[in-house]
Amino acid sequence: MQWDKLPDEQTMNFLELLGNLAVRAIAINNLRAQSLQAEANISSGEFTVLSLSNVLKILRGAEDRKRFFSLLVDIFMEQSRMNNCLLASWNPSRKGYAITEHRTGHIKAAMDTTLLPSSGGPVESVKVKDPSYDTAEKSPDFVFRSWGLAGCPWKDSMKASSIKYIFPVCDDNSLVGIIALGAAQGGRNVLDRSQLASLQLIAQFAAYEFRRFE
């Protein structure tokens, strides 16, 4: 602002009042924006809780092992918005982990019958340090070896399915299953924090449901 002469006291008082009003308007607008954001976060949280509750009910309602595995893979792909999933479970007769479900582009893929052996029984839960693994940071080979197993026997299947994440399925005692998740080339291949947390919780819940089919 330019003045031909210094403003008088009345003008200065008016400018001060105008400045105070502007500051208050900015503060009120900021509070309103924070309130709207908090409301949105609460709604989102409520939706997540309801969604998870429904997911767990669906899994609990599975009547047999085959149906349970199929639902679990469907849920992981739906919750993650990814379209490739590989599920392996402990096979006591073969003494190792074997693939029981494999989807590529939401369609059942040819089953890889290669076994991930563990002669001492299923891996103890205490050996599994993390609820999920990003294969960009830790390869499947590294993950399995850290659990005391051999390297990944399903490399071709994982590569073809663009596997990005590995979720161990652990109950209080042991690793009962392994879920690998990814997207087709060019598809969305990154989970946000809330998706990752939800899938970790679903994997943990699923571990205890595995007992129903032993």
Query: Are the C-beta atoms of residues 191 and 167 closer than 8 Å to each other?
Result: no
Query: Are the C-beta atoms of residues 82 and 187 closer than 8 Å to each other?
Result: yes
- In this structure, the answer to whether residues 88 and 192 fall within a common structural domain is yes
Range of the domain at 50: 8-60
In terms of Cβ atoms closer than 10 Å to its own Cβ (0-12, 13-18, 19+), residue 121 is: exposed
- In this structure, the answer to whether residues 13 and 96 fall within a common structural domain is no
For the ranges 55-64, 170-179, 185-194, the lowest mean pLDDT is seen at 185-194
- In this structure, the answer to whether residues 52 and 95 fall within a common structural domain is no
Structure pTM? Answer: 0.75
Query: Are the C-beta atoms of residues 189 and 81 closer than 8 Å to each other?
Result: no
- In this structure, the answer to whether residues 209 and 179 fall within a common structural domain is yes
Q: How many domains does the chain have?
A: 2
| CA torsion, ordered 77, 81, 82, 85, to nearest 10 deg | -10
Q: Which of the two residues, 38 and 97, has the higher pLDDT score?
A: 97
Residues composing the chain: 214
CA distance 204 to 5: 75
Residue 166 pLDDT > 90: yes
2 assigned to some structural domain: no
Q: Which of the two residues, 43 and 105, has the higher pLDDT score?
A: 105
- In this structure, the answer to whether residues 85 and 37 fall within a common structural domain is no
- In this structure, the answer to whether residues 133 and 196 fall within a common structural domain is yes
38 assigned to some structural domain: yes
Residue 2 pLDDT > 90: no
